[in-house]
Amino acid sequence: MESKTYTGEKIDIPVTSIILESDPLHPEMFALFFCPKCGDNLFQYSGTVIMIVPGGTHAKLPLIKQCRKCKTKYLINSIV
């Protein structure tokens, strides 16, 4: 669970972390990422998914994407 503070109140946001790595050999290639829980498409990315782990991971600029269908939240993090 990722803990965040909004207006002084600490809340937990349940997330699954997706770690992406760039692919210098094929930077022009894009793929769709589908929600592992329900199969709905979440976002388009370039590179390779190297890890999907439960909970939050350290991210310089956290981007949390919520699945439209099942409402599962994903923290997207990239390794440059």
80 residues of the chain, pLDDT tens digit each: 555 555 777 777 788 999 888 888 888 889 999 999 999 999 998 888 888 988 888 877 778 899 999 999 999 987 65
Q: Domain range spanning residue 34?
A: 2-79
Report the C-alpha gap between 43 and 58 in whole angstroms: 20
pTM more than 0.75: no
Residue 52, CA atoms < 13 Å, CB-side half-sphere: 10
Overall number of domains in the chain:
1
DSSP E strands, 22-67? 30-34, 41-46, 48-54, 63-66
